[in-house]
Amino acid sequence: MAIDKNKTKELVKQIEKLFEEIVPKKHKEKVEKILMGSVLEEIKLITESRPPTLYLIGRSGHGKSSLINALTNKDVAEVGDVKPTTVESTDYVITFPEQYATWRIVDSRGLFETTPPKSETPCDAVEKLKQDIKKFNPDVILHVISAPEIRNLSQDLKVFEEVMQNVKKDLGVELPIITVLNKADTLGNPREWPPEQHAKKAGLILEALEYIGREVFETSYEFVDKNCPYRGFLLKNSKYFAVIPICSLREDIWNIEVLSEIIAEKLPKSALLDFVQAQRRKHLLKRLSTSIIKRFSVLAAAICVEPIPVADIFILTPLQILMIAIIGGLSCEPVSRETVGKYSAAAGIDIGMGFSLRKIARELVKLIPVLGPAISGAIAAAGTYAIGKSAEAYFFDNKIRKPEEFINEWEKIKN
């Protein structure tokens, strides 16, 4: 189970109906302008999320196809070392039905080959790259290079950096570029794998990374994981964003989760949900959940800044209901009022079997004793954050933690 955009839209309609029940007619217009406008804008990140578009560039035989398969955990692309006969890109639209997600991955076949495809020239290839960026509008570019060949192909990295400078100049587009050092297992003895169990292999991977940082890009960098520096680094003052070593062989997959995290970090919000749901990586989904909790808490503060002559808390709780449902959805529960009911019951609210959203709204007030009928923006934000984190602990960690345990956290993390 995952967040179904269509079901989420249905829940939003139910919450809009709840507003009709709670807010007096004479105040509806103001409430909708202040609250529902903000909520609906925020919820578009869920209901109108789109497929991420990843654009792969690299020479044939360097593992672009196996990388596609490793990232998607599907046998999507045919793996082989066949030389390209054209620079036409291959467009993969990959669906994940059970996760309600879709990806688009474009493999730019034939660009920057040692021997250009017949009837094509390097200039043609560069122009084709510009056309592809116009056509596919990628979110992230992955430059795939075989780790054992980085010293032979260091010029590729420099040339591509210059190409992207021209793309930015001509198209006004600057895209995040991640260097993927594939086939890290083939540095040295392929049998010595994984690097966590073979210090010599780990040293060779780190040496390759340092070569790229110091000799190719000639810039400073910061390791992604200081405890395991051979897992990659983030570049400073470069068109490239990061260099991540991987092994994409199905039987020896390594470091794909780090690459996934880096990609997720650079994706726009509109493409993030489909990406993390398809991968079913709990920590990425939980990170998205925490981000949503923070955004909804900021919204709660904004709501209560405006003077509304009705009970603020009964305007605020529908926002919190929606937040709880989304957190549940990210943890693989259905996005529904039943999911909200499961959390409410676990948090100590006895709402019975035939509950309604209105009942939940009234009972939700009791979760945070300090909240009253009229509340300040600071208290509204802290209370919303506390409820969100309590729900997150319940859905993601199977722990029952009262909202009161989180009420003081907001001041520490709000900025």
At residue 154, the pLDDT reads: 78
What is the mean predicted confidence (pLDDT) over 312-318? 65
Token couple for 191: 């049998």
- The β-bridge relationship of strands 140-146 and 53-57 is parallel
Residue 215 has pLDDT above 60, yes or no: yes
Residue 263 has pLDDT above 70, yes or no: yes
Integer Cα distance of 150 and 207 in angstroms: 11
- Three-state SS across 57-87? ECCCCCCHHHHHHHHHCCCCCCCCCCCCCCC
49 pLDDT band, cuts 50/70/90, is confident
Residue 125 has pLDDT above 70, yes or no: no
Query: Any idea of the CA torsion for 303, 309, 313, 319, to the nearest 10 degrees?
Result: -40
20 pLDDT band, cuts 50/70/90, is low
Higher pLDDT, 31 or 215: 215
7 pLDDT band, cuts 50/70/90, is confident
Reported as type and span, the H/E element at residue 56 is strand 53-57
Q: Lowest-pLDDT range, 119-123, 236-240, 379-383?
A: 119-123
Mean pLDDT of the chain: 81
Higher pLDDT, 229 or 157: 229
At residue 23, the pLDDT reads: 64
Shortest CA distance to 119 belongs to which of 82, 89, 86? 86
At residue 121, the pLDDT reads: 43
What count of residues does the chain have?
415
Percent of the chain predicted with pLDDT > 70: 76
At residue 370, the pLDDT reads: 46
What is the mean predicted confidence (pLDDT) over 142-171? 83
Reported as type and span, the H/E element at residue 324 is helix 312-330
At residue 117, the pLDDT reads: 42
At residue 208, the pLDDT reads: 96
Residue 349 has pLDDT above 60, yes or no: no
Q: What angle do CA 31, 35, 39 make, to 5 degrees?
A: 150
Integer Cα distance of 29 and 21 in angstroms: 14
Token couple for 118: 């017949």
Question: Which of 31-45, 145-159, 259-273 is most confident?
Answer: 259-273
361 pLDDT band, cuts 50/70/90, is low
At residue 170, the pLDDT reads: 79
85 pLDDT band, cuts 50/70/90, is very low
Q: Say whether the peptide bond before residue 194 is cis (omega within 30 degrees of 0).
A: yes
Reported as type and span, the H/E element at residue 323 is helix 312-330
At residue 190, the pLDDT reads: 93
Q: Give the chain's radius of gyration (CA, Å).
A: 25
Give one DSSP letter per residue of 349-413, joined into a string. ----SS--HHHHHHHHGGGSTT--SS--HHHHHHHHHHHHHHHHHHHHH-----GGGGTTTHHHH
**Structural domains in the chain plus CATH codes:** 5-48+278-413 (no CATH), 53-266 (3.40.50.300)
Shortest CA distance to 269 belongs to which of 250, 251, 252, 294? 294
At residue 291, the pLDDT reads: 87
